[in-house]
Amino acid sequence: MGRLILRLLGTPEVSHAEQPITFQTRKVLALLAYLAVEQGVHSRDKITALLWPESDEERGKASLRRALAYLRENLHEPSHEGSRHVSLPSTHMLIEHHTLSFNLASDFEIDTQTLQTAFTLARRRSSGDLRTHLAHLQMAASCYRGNFLNGLSLPDAPDFEDWLLLQRESWRRQANTVFDRLSQWQTEAGELENALETTTRWVEYDLLNEMAHTRLMQLHSALGDRVDALRAFERCRAILERELSAEPSSEITQGADVLEARAFETGSRLPYQPLVEALRSRLEGEQDLQTLLSDVWLAELARLLPEFREQVPDLPSPLSLGEAEARTRLFEAVARLGRALARRAPVVLFIDDAQWADVASLDVLQYASRRWATVHLPVFLLCTFRSDDLASSVALADWLSSLEQNLPVRRQTLISLTFEETLRLVQSLFGAGKGTPGDGGEGQPEKDESIEAWSKWLFAETRGHPFFLIEHLKLLADRKGLFHDEAGTVLMPPDLSMPQAAAPSPLPASVRDLIHARLTRLSHHALTLCVAAAVLGDGCTFDQLCRVADINDNQGLSALDELLTRGLLQETGGRCFFAHDSIRAGAYAEAGEIRRRVLHRRALETLQAASASPTELAQHALAAGLPDAATRLSIAAGDAAMRLFAARDAIAQYEQARQLVRRSHESPQPSGRRTWSFRWLSCPSSISSSGGHTS
């Protein structure tokens, strides 16, 4: 038997023994593709129901037999149906009396396997030869020619169509990751021309992906070709206008250098955490840091970003100064970096959930903002705060007031949608006011009336909160209450029930129920991984998730794909984030106290092995019910904060350790348990508990 080659990514192409195969019917191709991609053993009844659901049992089985006969003929394979003891290593199809399967031991090649291997490498690469990694990703990128089984459709087999839709989305997402990482690694290796070629192909295969368009413009600019960069922008704008009736995002439109970060509640206010995140994500692709700053200032920034010393091995040590002077120099280094970036292009520094930012980060932002404003640099600082935290935090209110005294600050309160705005949103989704082509708009008044009634119920349930509106629509989509037509318009089945008779539930309970409903639909491994992510917090890696969830890589990949597909998690830069904090809170509550303690202990062990900050480790030790470890780590966190001149953060950590010691002295001591001494917790004399600054 000859070698079987299946090219399923794009218009399907199948060859056997170096000869192309033309299939007698679309369902013969569908049968071969399904068995090759799904693998495993499948019953004949299952395949019959999948491909011939409208046929009765006898006709369905006959159709399957004919399709199998065509396949054997195309692959030049003899009939071995019913043979139980025949070894057929070179036969591609294993056909038994009751079951069918694809022979994975046969001589075959399939492009989906190549893409999946590269996808796994792209998400998990941490070390190894870059050239080898590039070769694997380049091979996968060359295999991707478009949507999975592009052009194939079986309208009379709805279950197969559903499977096909999920496969196309999964392979498209994997291809996006491969193209993204390949172009990024090529850029890091200085292969700008190759990166440009990769990104050009990426755009062609995913025309609506703004990230791909942005990367293409950046590469044209890096190569000094501003004309082609502008052409790429104009094409992006035209595509989005034609396909989505939308304008490009502000990042593309303005050509700004966007530095984005988010402060985390679970981070327990790590010193400079949001600032470090923003700078690291922006500078990790910078080819030559010394074109931005001199070695003296890079050495100061290396306090926050130690990897600078790997990129510039001969950096000098920071100057030996007093604590106050050293802190000022660190702030000045950040301000000078912002100035260097702003001279290249306008800079947008976006800090999300800034109410959870540490004091040190807020201080450096205030210092740098004043420096930038003094020389009129094009730097825009955008921070989001939760209104309840802003109202209850005196320190945060004082920080904003101080900014407003020296800089032009504008506050914008984001409010919920009105009913009219909610109605317009729903009308845009359901294509209200548009008659079906050829019907003259017949039936449109009834449709508009139904949409308005449904919008009233939706508004009563969500009070116009945008996130909750979207979450309700996602839940309906999960239940297949909503679907899309060929033009992309959301359709509502005429029998979709309108639960207006039920009294609107309070908004928090409604959201909790909504999140609970989405979590209960997850598989066991997906739910376990979701809870592990809630324990670790946003920004965790795939390896950390698997270790805390205690599942292997294959189970973890399948679970992560499920969470990404259902929109509960998002993947950015190889790290996982919840789509919304409410989802994280719901998943965390779902676990229960005992399970949370176990998972926090695993998280502590995992993060200790990864040399995580003592502040983060202390929080996990506390949640795991390990007071001795929490005390030790809190002291270490305070010491680390002091080394970065974050005095008030250090005081908070020392005070936490003091409280833990006090409770340990007040409670009965088990035999052999360590007794802590308060003298360990004496703060340095230079700390003032009232002001938090050095003396």
- Which residues of 483-568 form beta strands (DSSP E)? 483-484, 490-491, 540-541
CA 223 to chain centre: 30
Q: Are residues 293 and 188 in the same domain?
A: no
* Contact by Cβ (8 Å): 570, 577: yes
Flag whether 87 is in a domain: yes
> Please, is 635 exposed, middle or buried when counting C-beta atoms within 10 Å of its C-beta (0-12, 13-18, 19+)?
buried
Instruction: Enumerate the β-bridge partners of residue 572.
Output: 575
Domain stops at, among 458, 479, 511: 511
Task: Give the CATH number for residue 9.
Answer: 1.10.10.10
pLDDT digits (tens, 9 = 90+) for 60-73: 999 999 999 998 88
pLDDT tens profile 192-203: 899 999 999 999
Instruction: Answer whether residue 220 is part of any domain.
Output: no
Mapped onto helix, strand or coil, the DSSP state of residue 496 is coil
For residues 507 and 517, state if they share a domain.
Answer: no
CA distance 447 to 280: 51
Domain-terminating residue out of 511, 536, 566:
511
Is residue 232, in this structure, part of any structural domain at all? no
> Tokens 């301000």 label which residue?
335
pLDDT value at residue 647: 87
If 0-12 CB within 10 Å is exposed, 13-18 middle and 19+ buried, where does residue 691 land?
exposed
Kindly state whether residue 695 falls inside one of the protein's structural domains: no
The distance from CA 368 to its chain's CA centroid, rounded to whole angstroms, is 30
Contacts of 321 (CB under 8 A, 6+ apart): 329
The answer to whether position 120 is within a domain reads: yes
Rg (CA), the chain: 29
- Give pLDDT, residue 244: 77
Element (H, E) at 332: helix 323-344
- Do 22 and 86 fall within a single domain? yes
Tokens of 535: 């324990």
* 519 plus 506 within the same structural domain: no
Give CA–CA dist 593/649, Å, rounded: 28
Of residues 313 and 429, the one with the higher pLDDT is: 313
Dihedral sign, CA of 603, 606, 610, 613? positive
Percent of the residues in the chain that have a pLDDT greater than 90, as a whole number = 32
Q: Rounded to whole angstroms, what are the CA distances from 33 to 12, 74, 112, 148, 323?
A: 9, 14, 11, 10, 67
Give the CATH number of the domain where residue 524 resides: 1.10.10
Query: Which residue from 458, 558, 560 is spatially nearest to 514, judged by alpha carbons?
Result: 458
Residue 1 lies in a domain: yes
Cα–Cα dist 215/286, whole Å? 14
- Give the C-alpha separation, 337 to 587, whole Å: 39
pLDDT-based confidence at residue 474 (cuts at 50, 70, 90)? low
279 and 180 in a single domain? The answer is no
Question: Which tokens sit at 6?
Answer: 């299946």
Using CA atoms, how far apart are residues 267 and 615, in angstroms rounded to an integer? Answer: 8
- Identify the DSSP state of 262: E
Instruction: Output the pLDDT for position 122.
Output: 85
Claim to verify: residue 506 and residue 521 sit in the same structural domain: no
Indicate the pTM of the whole model.
Answer: 0.46
- At 187 the three-state DSSP class reads helix
- What SS3 class is residue 246? coil
Please provide the DSSP assignment of 381-412 as one string: EEE---HHHHHH-HHHHHHHHHHHHHS-----
Q: What is the DSSP letter of 14?
A: E
Statement to judge: residues 133 and 19 lie in one domain: yes
Give yes or no: residues 17 and 163 share one domain: yes
17-66 pLDDT, tens per residue?
Answer: 889 999 889 999 999 999 999 989 999 999 999 999 998 989 999 999 99
Spatial CB neighbours of 293, under 8 Å, sequence gap ≥ 6: 301, 333, 336, 337, 340
Whether residues 506 and 535 share a domain: the answer is: no
Total domains in the chain come to: 4
CB atoms within 10 A of CB 69: 14
The burial class, CB within 10 Å (0-12 / 13-18 / 19+), for 108 is middle
Residue that is last in its domain, among 511, 541, 569:
511
Question: Do 540 and 662 belong to one domain?
Answer: yes
Mean pLDDT of 223-237: 78
Residue 426 falls inside a structural domain: yes
Q: Which residue has the higher pLDDT, 676 or 64?
A: 64
Burial class of residue 439, CB neighbours in 10 A (0-12, 13-18, 19+) = exposed
Spatial CA neighbour of 490 closest among 505, 500, 504, 476: 476
Residue 548 near residue 536, CB atoms below 8 Å: yes
Grade residue 157 by pLDDT with cuts at 50, 70 and 90.
Answer: very high
User: HSE on the CB side for 145, CA within 13 Å?
Assistant: 13
Between 60 and 664, the higher pLDDT residue: 60
283 and 367 share one domain: yes
Share of the chain above pLDDT 70, in %: 81
Same domain assignment for residues 643 and 676: yes
pLDDT in tens, 87-146: 345 688 898 889 999 999 889 999 999 999 999 888 775 556 677 888 889 999 999 999
User: What residue ranges in 61-149 does DSSP mark as E strands?
Assistant: 93-95, 99-102, 108-110
Query: Cα–Cα distance between 47 and 514 in angstroms, integer?
Result: 35
- Residue 322 in any domain: the answer is yes
> 384 is written with which tokens?
């989001």
Report the 3 state secondary structure along 548-616: HHCCCHHHHHHHHHHHHHCCCEEEECCEEEECCHHHHHHHHHHHCHHHHHHHHHHHHHHHHHCCCCHHH
Structure tokens at 109: 């090649």
Tell me the three state secondary structure of residue 313: coil
Q: Which domain holds residue 139?
A: 1-206
pLDDT tens readout for residues 556-593: 999 999 898 877 888 888 899 987 777 888 888 888 88
Q: Is the pLDDT of residue 667 over 80?
A: no
The CA–CA distances, whole Å, from 84 to 4, 41, 80, 97, 676 equal: 24, 15, 9, 9, 71
Quick one: which of 687, 628, 617 has its CA closest to 652?
Answer: 687
pLDDT at 7: 96
CB-CB contact of 396 with 365 (8 Å): no
Own/partner pairs for 90-97, CB < 8 Å, 24+ apart? 90/1, 91/1, 92/1, 92/4, 93/35, 93/68, 95/68
Q: Which residue has the tokens 């007031």?
A: 401
Tens of pLDDT, residues 498-540? 444 333 333 345 567 767 877 888 889 999 999 999 999 888 9
Q: For position 395, what pLDDT does the model report?
A: 80
Tell me the DSSP string of 636-671: HHHHHHHHTT-HHHHHHHHHHHHHHHHHHHHSPPPT
